[in-house]
Amino acid sequence: MTGNDALTSQERYVSLYRRYRPLRFDEVVGQDAAVSVLRHSLEGGKTVHAYLFSGPRGCGKTSLARILSKALNCTDARTGAEPCGACPSCVAITAGESLDVVEIDGASNRGIDEVRELKAHVSLAPFSSRRKIYIVDEVHMLTEPAFNALLKTLEEPPSHAVFILATTEPQKVPVTIRSRCQHIPFRRIPGKDIALRLSRVCEKEGIPSEEAALWELARQADGAMRDALSLLEQAIPVGSGSVTAESVRTLVGGGSRAEMESFVALFRSKPEEAIATLMESLQKGASMERLVESLFLIFRDLWILKTWGAKTLESLELSSEEKAFLLEESSLWKLEGLRFSLENLSRMMGRLRLGIRTDILAGLLLQGLRTGQPAGGLPLETSSSPKAMASTASGGETASVSEKATAIVPSGSLDQAAIRQFWIHLLESQDTADRQVAAALSGAVVREGEGEMIVDFAGKDRICFELIRLERNLKRFTTCKEESLGAVPVTFCCMGECLRSGEGTALPDPVPVGENSNPAPWERRKKRTHQIEKEDPSFPVAQEGEGSPEGERQTTALDEMIGWFGGEVLLVRQEDPEGTASGFEEGSASE
């Protein structure tokens, strides 16, 4: 082949996404609703003068606009709503040579001058067709003056003019424009439709392909057929003329569905090897966003399968190999572990926007998934955000997680499911009697000892340990525990100090004034005030009846809390009768 022949061959080559652009309504993939609306309008002769096509990129808006243009100007009436594709008008529009179908890029022709020029030509009669059609792509990019200039033309266009406006962001199109158009929304093309289309393209082109590879391309395209065909065209030379899973992984980098499935299986059985898989994916150029999203989808599919059974696989966009993986893997996980992994991954998605280093995010990902791992037991979880429950595989050791967590480390003698239900119910209780108990236990770590449940408090959570030791809180906890778990012993521990529920010594609750042999701080101050009154009768003292109907000091929540820990309010703000602050004086919180 000579150089000129090679150049001619290169010039004749047309990209796959252009070569396989739909030319008829029945060739459009994944937009049945939009096609149905246009078909019925054409068949009934009730087409309008302005359309607004909205939807994600690469989903077929411009292709369908061209098909509609051909249908409006087709001279073969025997084909009905479908353009014949053979008449001079259809041929010219397909080749992009029709003078009566004008395509305008709204992103680069967005000013008022361009719209004025368009208006000047709208009134001119078509050259050779029945209709003069203007296709304005990315119409939301027009400036406000340009929209205002277009408004009158859309409102009262010439009878031969049809406007087809296409946009990916319909909310940016002024409502005055939208109200004058028939709005036809497009949707992302389902992955199974894209994979099927790619398979037919490969078959027609004589290119060997693997189902898993086509599904991965469809997944990467994210609902855009144009992107899928572009990726397919790139994958062919990478695979030396064929489309394989390996060539697709090489093309798109790390983080493919197959890689993440391998990571999940290894992380369950051989965590030390799974870490290498994760780091290899990152080294291939995969972003943490992609890795987390891929893992979330896998755990989501496992959770759905585990919850509702194998029938749900039909509703998921998966290849046969991916379905086989889910069926095998789901039997090795418990429902709570899958749900906990999903919660960890969802929290990771929020952290991804914080600009944290990739290696740190990878560590947090491994740490979070480790707590949901099925080996050795599953987490005792709670939805009390931001607290999360976790477990490790080794008995008797508390899980270490990135957030303050409540966990159970099982050894096998207690009913974990019952304990889990009891704990979740207690921490999420809306009963006012449970509020202090839930607050005290929210920072604790639960593990299983020898036939008992041990509740550990860290040294920094000493205040929570003291709170649960209060007589009424300990009694309330014991009552709730016995209703749910029966006589399961519970021991509270903090820095070597332990208290067993139902045994040991509980701290006395603060009691009303007059019943306490060890008065609270406010009561001690009251006694001092009476002593001063005896020594100095001129000292001002509140009279009977002031403050409360019985003239007695009423314990407030603040006083009570201060009394638990030996605190005392030294200064309070005092207001004069007019409501203005007159200064501060010594006293209790309610004086």
Question: Which comes out higher in pLDDT, residue 528 or 359?
Answer: 359
pLDDT of residue 536: 56
- pTM of the full structure: 0.60
Q: How confident is the model at residue 509 (pLDDT cuts 50, 70, 90)?
A: low
Rounded Cα distance between 539 and 273, Å, is 80
How much is the average pLDDT of 3-20?
A: 68
309: region left, alpha or beta (phi > 0 left; psi from -120 to 50 alpha): left
Q: How confident is the model at residue 143 (pLDDT cuts 50, 70, 90)?
A: very high
pLDDT of residue 375: 37
Q: Are 369 and 385 in contact (CB under 8 A)?
A: no
- Span 394-452, pLDDT tens digits: 333 333 333 433 444 444 567 777 787 788 888 877 787 788 888 888 778 887 777 78
In this structure, is the dihedral angle defined by the CA atoms of residues 265, 266, 271 and 274, taken in order, positive or negative?
Answer: negative
Q: Helix 257-269 to helix 271-283 angle, to the nearest 10 degrees?
A: 150
Return the CATH fold of 253-368: Zinc Finger, Delta Prime; domain 3 (1.20.272)
CA 164 to chain centre: 34
pLDDT of residue 519: 53
**pLDDT exceeds cutoff 90 at 134:** yes
- Span 327-349, pLDDT tens digits: 999 888 888 888 888 888 888 88
**pLDDT exceeds cutoff 50 at 585:** no
Residue 131 in tokens? 């209709």
- Span 428-442, pLDDT tens digits: 777 877 888 888 887
Q: How confident is the model at residue 354 (pLDDT cuts 50, 70, 90)?
A: confident
pLDDT of residue 475: 87
How much is the average pLDDT of 5-11?
A: 50
Q: How confident is the model at residue 100 (pLDDT cuts 50, 70, 90)?
A: very high
Q: Are 453 and 426 in contact (CB under 8 A)?
A: no
Cα 169-174-175 angle, rounded to 5 deg:
105
**pLDDT exceeds cutoff 70 at 103:** yes
**pLDDT exceeds cutoff 60 at 512:** no
Q: What's the mean per-residue pLDDT of the chain? A: 78
Rounded Cα distance between 272 and 467, Å, is 42
Question: Which comes out higher in pLDDT, residue 381 or 367?
Answer: 367
Highest averaged pLDDT of the listed ranges 293-297, 342-346, 511-515: 293-297
Say yes or no: domain 16-185 is CATH 3.40.50.300: yes
Distance linking the first and last C-alpha atoms of the chain: 103
Pairing of strands 101-105, 490-494: unpaired
- List the domain boundaries for the chain: 16-185, 253-368, 380-500, 521-586
- The answer for residues whose C-beta is within 8 angstroms of residue 109's C-beta and 6 or more apart is none
- Span 307-321, pLDDT tens digits: 998 888 888 888 888
pLDDT of residue 535: 59
pLDDT of residue 37: 94
- Span 463-483, pLDDT tens digits: 888 888 888 888 888 888 888
Identical topology for domains 16-185 and 253-368: no
pLDDT of residue 482: 85
Q: How confident is the model at residue 386 (pLDDT cuts 50, 70, 90)?
A: very low
